[in-house]
Amino acid sequence: MPQGHLQDAPRAPVDVVDGERLLQLGDERLRGGPPGREPPRAVGDEGLVRVDVALDEARQDELVLDVERLAAGRVERRADAPDAPVAQGHVLPAAVDQSLSQQQIAHARAVYRLRRRLDRDAPRVIRPAHRRGGRGGRFVSTVTDLVQWGLRGASLPRRRALALRLGVVLAFLALWSLASGLVVLLGLFNPIFLAGPWLVLGKVWELALSGELWGHLGATLERVAVGFTTGALLALALGLPAGQWRAVRNLLEPIVEILRPIPPLAMLPLFIVWAGIGETSKVAFITYATFFPMFLSTVHAVQQVDPLLLRAAASLGARRPQLFFRVVLPAALPEILTGIRLGVALSFFVIVISEFIGAEQGLGYLINDGRNFFLVPQMLGAAIVLGLLGYAGNALVVRLGRHWLRWERP
């Protein structure tokens, strides 16, 4: 259904849809409903937004969303006849929602849930649009977009989300400060073992000003980047054909299933024996740890591609390379990105272990050095920096996923 453009139009009589009316509409839908009528255009005036709701393939009804009365819980429907009575509107009770759900009246229940979202974020549905044909107007999504938006939930405004995250961080720091203070007041144990947050952050600031932190940070990032990239390339190079062809999968599956249960920590001594205590063993250790989750997610993603998509593309004349790059890869990409996020987290997890042994630089070295000399602020500071790096890596993958998967959003 094309997106509607709001234009000036006379206000039509409306009757407020209550729970019984929604159930009636749903019953008509289940019975097949009366013959269809030509759907009206989405028009609006003075704060009204009217959109078409398809109850089935042959019937469409028009909902009128009154922005000024959304907080009162009213969802209005344009009357079929000018003399239709105006019913009393009310907020649909939970029992109606439950009844709609039990009868599987999807559209009516979606409209009700959509109304519950709109009373909080109505401005996100009605937003400015460009002028068309020399006349001003407002832009409203199709009802399909509105219902999907209401079902998945409106996202928090950016400022509110940022304030919420900042509040969580400040609450964590406050609890940390309280815990360290109670240790000192109650004498539970030596306070040197639980440094307060401001002491830890001060140590991180001191290391940053001296330049020592940046050398360790660069060494860790270099190892993670090389090891993770190698693991990701191997996982994709082997996982994509393994998911596509059974012969490749049968060849690789025994080897993968034998090696996968072996903990990466158990393989570290072997990597040191084979490659020494230099950078090669650390990179190999990260590659080994990150390969398996990315490989398995890639194989499963390719296997779960809908065969209907492949048949539809083949019927349109797509060749095998086109099927892979235009159908298989885009359809499998969401799950592949999930495996990559797991790989990013694992790479920062195992780098600390590898830097405990035979390393002279790195955040893991800072933690191990602090352990040897009871430098708790240094240990906690390096751990916090490592966590921030992992958070940034995950955020980068999520950002790339939003860019690559734009077609998923309605």
Closest Cα to residue 382, out of 229, 238, 207, 248?
207
Report the mean per-residue pLDDT for the chain: 71
Confidence of residue 157 (pLDDT cuts 50, 70, 90): low
Highest mean pLDDT: which range of 39-43, 53-57, 379-383: 379-383
Q: Are 58 and 33 in contact (CB under 8 A)?
A: yes
What pLDDT does 312 receive?
84
Highest mean pLDDT: which range of 65-69, 125-129, 194-198, 210-214: 210-214
Written as six digits, the tokens of 276 are 């020494």
Closest Cα to residue 366, out of 173, 139, 204?
204
Look at residue 58 and tell me whether its pLDDT is greater than 70.
no
The mean pLDDT value for 22-39 works out to 42
User: pLDDT (tens digit, 9 = 90+) per residue, 131-151?
Assistant: 333 343 333 334 444 444 444
Look at residue 409 and tell me whether its pLDDT is greater than 70.
no
What is the 3-class SS of 203-243, one letter each residue?
HHHHHHHHCHHHHHHHHHHHHHHHHHHHHHHHHHHHHHHHH
Q: Which CATH number fits domain 195-408: 2.30.110.10, 2.40.50.140, 3.90.1300.10, 1.10.3720.10?
A: 1.10.3720.10
Rg (CA), the chain: 29
Look at residue 120 and tell me whether its pLDDT is greater than 90.
no
What pLDDT does 277 receive?
86
Written as six digits, the tokens of 399 are 């950002």
What pLDDT does 128 receive?
34
Q: Where are the domains of the chain?
A: 14-152, 156-188, 195-408
Q: SS3 for 125? A: coil
The mean pLDDT value for 150-179 works out to 76
User: pLDDT (tens digit, 9 = 90+) per residue, 306-323?
Assistant: 888 888 888 888 888 888
Confidence of residue 69 (pLDDT cuts 50, 70, 90): very low
Closest Cα to residue 399, out of 337, 348, 342?
337
CB atoms within 10 A of CB 178: 11
Written as six digits, the tokens of 208 are 């940053």
d(CA 221, CA 325): 32
User: pLDDT (tens digit, 9 = 90+) per residue, 206-265?
Assistant: 999 999 999 999 999 999 999 999 999 999 999 999 999 999 999 999 999 999 999 999
d(CA 23, CA 93): 13
d(CA 71, CA 215): 56
Look at residue 33 and tell me whether its pLDDT is greater than 70.
no
